[in-house]
């Protein structure tokens, strides 16, 4: 067997594989002899079928199969030994007049080669790294919500501002009949609020669904209609009041503190505010980190210039998909995936240049931290090491979970690298300002 390579340019090459009869004849003979022993052909006892008859029936198929196996193994080995960084997979070139009846064969494959490039993490233009703080306004609102959530309900006869109402929405037109509980601060507009104010249990209010609630998602929930339907919903609904309650806020005392956190860990309103601030800012840090990761990714893709073997990749997409594609469809798919491919190459280069890797011990520790967070959400705040080890072992026995956690851990390592080596400017903002600036 002889393998040669011809470079068309820096990104494209042709590999030629020459296979002679000596390379495959023994393997073909072995398979045919095995067929001969097992073949059931009318007129012959099993194991006594003439070899010539077996060759006539199965010889061509066995030859093709064995040569293709030999070809694939040789190509894979060659790419590994030559350390060729290829994109996609080798594509066989069509050869006119190819003859499987010949003794010697020659095959050609097109290769798309990964480009050689450098990544400059520290660009001239600084990337914003947001530091989101929980301001006094947010802390006040959060404490007010906690006091309401843990407060007492006091039954009332007449609806007033700030009350909590339970009743049933009905509409014959849309076949709606749904019981709901909500506070009046969810109602939108003075006209709607005036219909509720002064009403009593048993009263039936006629309401317009359009602009009834501050948030359309509340309307979807309280009327039990679909997400697609709710945004254009403009009907009359009846609301029968069943209960009227005023929620008396819970006192900021030790009893409340111990309901919110492990007993004795928070002992004053000041400590409560500090704890809420700490917990909120930890959550904000995750959002800020994701924003930074996205922005650095965008920066690297835009500022790391290199060419790709575009025509090869379009052809590869066209030929290797589940369904056959036209040239135009393949070009469209390539345009969609090009940015992602560029970042994969850039990320791979960064990982190699900075010798980033994920060890099994790191993965196990990362899984245990993830498990702790999950368990804490269900009130299990102090699991034993033995319990964590057992759950982690079960998770890491699943290859899909290993892949998912490995990707998350590598993203964490990349983020740390970016924080250390990229040109960043820190911007302190409240969460409200962060949302306005980033998402609006």
| pLDDT block averages, 10 residues each, the chain of length 440 | 94 95 92 81 73 83 93 94 93 88 92 95 92 95 93 93 94 93 92 94 94 90 88 91 94 93 91 95 94 95 95 92 87 94 96 95 93 82 87 93 94 96 96 89
Q: What pLDDT does residue 113 have?
A: 96
DSSP 200: B
* Residue 77 sits in the same domain as residue 193: no
Q: Structure tokens of 394?
A: 């079960």
Q: Give the total number of structural domains in the chain.
A: 3
- Residue 130 inside a domain? The answer is no
- Residue 363 inside a domain? The answer is yes
* Residue 309 sits in the same domain as residue 415: yes
* Residue 416 sits in the same domain as residue 322: yes
* Residue 227 sits in the same domain as residue 290: no
- First-residue to last-residue Cα distance in the chain: 63
Asked which of 83, 113, 143 is the last residue of a domain, the reply is 113
Q: Structure tokens of 399?
A: 């290859």
Q: What pLDDT does residue 95 have?
A: 82
Asked which of 90, 113, 136 is the last residue of a domain, the reply is 113
CATH number of the domain bearing residue 400: 1.10.3120
Place of tokens 């809420």: 276
* Residue 84 sits in the same domain as residue 156: no
Q: What pLDDT does residue 375 have?
A: 86
Return d(Cα 296, Cα 288) in angstroms, integer. Answer: 12
Place of tokens 């835009």: 302
- Residue 122 inside a domain? The answer is no
* Residue 289 sits in the same domain as residue 241: no
Q: What pLDDT does residue 273 have?
A: 96
Return d(Cα 114, Cα 333) in angstroms, integer. Answer: 19
184 is in which domain, residue-wise?
Answer: 152-248
- Residue 119 inside a domain? The answer is no
Q: What pLDDT does residue 53 have?
A: 82
Q: Would you list the DSSP string of 227-282? A: HHHHTT---EEEEEEEEEEEEEPPPSSHHHHHHHSSTTS--SHHHHHHHHHHHHHH
- Residue 262 inside a domain? The answer is no
* Residue 222 sits in the same domain as residue 290: no
Asked which of 213, 248, 283 is the last residue of a domain, the reply is 248
Global pTM reads 0.75
CATH number of the domain bearing residue 54: 3.30.70.1050
- Residue 85 inside a domain? The answer is yes
b/e per residue 254-291 (b: at least 16 CB within 10 A)? eebbeeebeeeebeeeeebbeebbeebeeebeeebbeb
* Residue 411 sits in the same domain as residue 277: yes
């Amino acid at each position: 067997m002889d393998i040669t390579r011809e470079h068309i340019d820096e990104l494209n090459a042709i590999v030629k594989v020459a296979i002679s009869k000596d390379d495959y004849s023994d393997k073909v003979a072995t398979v045919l002899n095995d067929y001969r022993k097992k073949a059931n052909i009318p007129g012959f006892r099993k194991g006594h079928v003439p070899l010539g008859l077996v060759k006539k029936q199965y010889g061509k198929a066995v030859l093709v199969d064995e040569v293709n196996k030999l070809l694939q193994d040789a190509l894979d080995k060659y790419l590994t030994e030559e350390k060729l960084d290829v994109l996609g997979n080798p594509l066989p070139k069509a050869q006119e007049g190819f003859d499987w009846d010949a003794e010697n064969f020659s095959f050609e494959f097109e290769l798309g080669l990964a480009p050689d490039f450098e990544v400059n993490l520290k660009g001239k233009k600084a990337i914003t790294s947001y530091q989101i703080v929980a301001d006094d306004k947010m802390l006040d609102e959060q404490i007010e919500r906690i006091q309401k959530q843990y407060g007492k309900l006091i039954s009332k006869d007449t609806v007033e501002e700030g009350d909590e109402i339970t009743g049933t929405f009905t509409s014959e037109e849309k076949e709606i009949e749904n019981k709901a509980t909500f506070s009046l601060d969810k109602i939108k507009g003075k006209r709607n609020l005036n219909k509720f104010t002064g009403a009593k249990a048993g009263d039936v209010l006629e309401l317009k669904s359009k602009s009834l609630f501050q948030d359309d998602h509340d309307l979807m929930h309280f009327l039990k209609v679909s997400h697609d339907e709710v945004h254009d919903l403009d009907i009359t609904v009846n609301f029968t009041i069943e209960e009227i309650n005023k929620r008396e806020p819970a006192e900021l005392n030790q009893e409340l503190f111990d309901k919110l956190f492990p007993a004795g860990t928070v002992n004053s309103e000041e400590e409560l505010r500090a704890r809420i601030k700490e917990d909120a800012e930890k959550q904000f840090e995750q959002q800020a980190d994701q924003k930074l990761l996205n922005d650095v990714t965008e920066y690297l893709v835009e500022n790391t210039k290199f060419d790709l073997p575009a025509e090869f990749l379009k052809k590869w997409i066209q030929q290797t998909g589940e369904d056959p594609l036209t040239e135009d469809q393949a070009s469209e798919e390539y345009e969609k995936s090009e940015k992602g491919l560029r970042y994969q190459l850039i990320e791979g280069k960064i990982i190699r240049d900075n010798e980033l890797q994920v060890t099994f011990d790191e993965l196990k520790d990362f899984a245990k931290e993830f498990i702790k967070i999950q368990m804490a959400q269900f009130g299990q705040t102090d699991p034993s090491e033995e319990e964590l080890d057992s759950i982690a072992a079960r998770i890491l026995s699943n290859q899909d979970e290993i892949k998912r956690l490995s990707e998350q851990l590598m993203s964490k390592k990349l983020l740390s690298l970016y924080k250390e080596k990229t040109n960043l400017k820190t911007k302190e903002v409240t969460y409200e300002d962060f949302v306005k600036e980033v998402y609006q």
